[in-house]
Amino acid sequence: MSQIIVSGEKKLEGTVRISGAKNAALPILAATVMIDEPVVIRNVPELRDINTMLSILQKIGKKVTFEHGVVQIEPGEILLGNVPYDLVGKMRASFNLFGPLVMACGWARVGKPGGCNIGQRPVDYHVEGLKRFGLKIVEEHGDVFGEIPAEFDSHVEYELPFKSVGATEQLMTTASLMEDSEIVIKNAAEEPEIVDLQNFLNKAGANVSGAGTDTIRIRGVKKLHGSEYSVIPDRIEAGTYLLAGVITRGNVIVENVIPDHLKALLDTLKKMGAEVTVSDNTVRVEVLNKLKPVKVSAEPYPGFPTDLQPIITAVLSTIEGDSIVEELVFENRFGYVDEMNRMGAHIKVKDRRAHIKGTRKLSGAEISAPDIRAAAALVIAGMAAEGETIVHNAGHIFRGYEKLKEKFNSIGAYLRVYPDEE
């Protein structure tokens, strides 16, 4: 089990170059199973979750190489429609292969993902939507089995019960090969990663419009073609470095970002009293004055991102006064709060709200990370705390942060990782 040892009372200062977005790359990689020509994807971060997706693609028959952030995928001799649970179990996003594989192979059998540390995370919206599109789906022995129908309806509308990112991605990708059908997805998630997926699909010859709004229209085409595509920068990674700058009362610049994608975070930082400077593709955050407590609500985009919720909570726990952080996406995303409290934070969770009584100083402690973003929150809390913090079970973090130790240490942190994973 990995451990990250964090030296406290560091002030972060400097520039960090942000990697490609994991959550944009994963659904794009899943969509490539529908393309039987060579595909090149650039700006892909070298992360555990990406490697999991690539090894699944290889196991089901694709030829894959991954070097210097460039993934090249070529069709193999056969494509298998089978993704067993031991692979899906490692990463929920592999369920995004289900619809695309049904379209590519005529059928697919994919293990149904289980719950995880931040909530139940069912896939009922994915399955319900695909059924409405005409796919024949049965769930048996823990797997989801799907088959292509003899014919698709010429017009289908499906309204998602909640703005689910994964379901929106799965449905728009699958629909793009439903030849001659027009599909409308309502109450769609609006995240930038969905716009990126639309851009990728359209570059491959699909006809998708509306991503970034709550209504997405897809006109199914007969075939998708090989293409080259570059993934957008990771707004969650960028947000993490900016928040690390704030918790250490430092001065951090993130470069290679799309500042628009960070709007909810930057608005919050301004309300807290941090100095925010935005240019074309960089954002700088500096703390010059005493910071103020705020109320934050984690919601679907364009709201404050749930993936930064644990990290902003860590920051607010170091700002004197009463802050509130509300979580409206996942039912159980406060699993790290007891660990923060071991570091001297005063956080009480009631229903979906964390009530934070800010304290000026946290103290280093031995703690354990329940999930990837919680791990990031605990690590940055350690940078601001007095003394040393040992984050156990920290391996989660390498699912989402490329060259974490190198990037943080280059701007003044001192992290040691055992065993060294980078």
The annotation status of 132 as a binding-site residue, yes or no, is: no
Q: CB of residue 300 vs ligand UD1: minimum separation in angstroms? A: 7
146-205: which residues touch ligand UD1 (CB under 6 A)? 162, 164-167, 189
Q: Which is nearer to ligand UD1, 49 or 344 (CB)?
A: 49
| Of 42, 121, 225, 249, the one binding ligand UD1 by CB under 6 A | 121
| Of 61, 76, 119, 226, the one binding ligand UD1 by CB under 6 A | 119
Strand duo 388-392 + 366-368: pairing? parallel
Q: CB of residue 309 vs ligand UD1: minimum separation in angstroms? A: 9
Q: CB of residue 128 vs ligand UD1: minimum separation in angstroms? A: 8
Using the rule CB under 6 A, is 254 a contact of ligand UD1?
Answer: no
Whether 265 and 196 have beta carbons less than 8 Å apart is answered as no
Cite the active site residues: 116
- The Cα–Cα gap between 73 and 31 comes to 11
Using the rule CB under 6 A, is 123 a contact of ligand UD1?
Answer: yes
CA distance to 57, 120, 126, 376, per residue, from 92 (Å): 15, 11, 13, 19
* Exposed/middle/buried for residue 136 (C-beta within 10 Å: 0-12, 13-18, 19+): middle
Strand duo 13-17 + 251-255: pairing? parallel
Longest dimension (CA), the chain: 65
- The Cα–Cα gap between 57 and 43 comes to 18
Whether 162 and 92 have beta carbons less than 8 Å apart is answered as no
Using the rule CB under 6 A, is 415 a contact of ligand UD1?
Answer: no
Using the rule CB under 6 A, is 370 a contact of ligand UD1?
Answer: no
> Which of 174, 172, 171, 180 minimizes the C-alpha distance to 222?
180
Using the rule CB under 6 A, is 93 a contact of ligand UD1?
Answer: yes
The annotation status of 405 as a binding-site residue, yes or no, is: no
Could you tell me the two tokens for 286?
């500096």
Could you tell me the two tokens for 14?
């400097």
Residue with tokens 């009631």: 350
Closest residue (Cβ) to ligand UD1?
166
Using the rule CB under 6 A, is 376 a contact of ligand UD1?
Answer: no
| Of 90, 112, 126, 405, the one binding ligand UD1 by CB under 6 A | 126
Q: Which is nearer to ligand UD1, 159 or 320 (CB)?
A: 159
Q: CB of residue 80 vs ligand UD1: minimum separation in angstroms? A: 23
Residues that bind ligand UD1 (CB under 6 A): 23, 26, 92-93, 119-126, 162, 164-167, 189, 306-307, 329-330
Binding residues for phosphoenolpyruvate: 22-23
